[in-house]
Chain A
């Protein structure tokens, strides 16, 4: 399954919202009703960290300004109000079919 993201670069203003799109070449909707799509943030110099799993579930400790939505092949990660610590590269990943695959990443930085 091929994952694409847009935009690949996103300059943001603190306090403003931000949105990243992720698309898959096949539907990620499992027969159990869940979308097998997760989102990650890799901050500079760090390992990636899980933000969202099963399309829309926030991982433990993730601020509620992050939200995931979408179904099938089209997904969106939204940040309601960007703060400085949100800079880094955001990746979507499908975990429906082996091999699991990642999007190319969206680099978010402060304007």
Chain B
């Protein structure tokens, strides 16, 4: 049974960096058949796909244009974790962030979500 356990701060100051960790159990971050995605949800923007990484003999990365210049998704193979880093945050980055597994073109496993508020 695949489980995703998210951790990270709930409050980040404007212009600082948001860092979230997703601990993967029951699967490998290097699994050749899946992707590991980050999705966020806010009242103003609804569900917004942010980006993904996946391993197919080498690592691939895709990002939404809205966060491309500020976001980095990283696999941590030693700990079997997925990491998200978002720099220069603003109040518009306030949202519930989800770590998600993509499989067979569906997002089949979701983390519990991490509520992040950007405020001074």
Interface size class of A (residues with CB under 8 A): 20 to 34
Contact with A along B44-57 (1 / 0, CB 8 A): 00111100000000
Stretch at the interface among B13-21, B78-86, B101-109: B101-109
- Contact (Cβ within 8 A) B62 A38: no
- Contact (Cβ within 8 A) A53 B49: no
- Number of A-B pairs, beta carbon distance below 8 Å: 56
Judge if A83 is at the interface, Cβ distance under 8 Å.
no
Judge if B98 is at the interface, Cβ distance under 8 Å.
yes
Contact with B along A38-57 (1 / 0, CB 8 A): 10100000011110111001
25 A-B pairs with CB atoms under 8 Å apart are A38-B105, A38-B106, A40-B107, A47-B110, A47-B113, A48-B98, A49-B110, A50-B108, A52-B106, A53-B105, A54-B104, A59-B106, A91-B47, A93-B49, A93-B107, A95-B105, A95-B106, A98-B62, A99-B49, A99-B62, A99-B65, A100-B49, A101-B49, A102-B46, A104-B46
Residues of A within 8 A of B (CB): 34, 36, 38, 40, 47-50, 52-54, 57, 59-60, 91, 93, 95, 98-102, 104-105
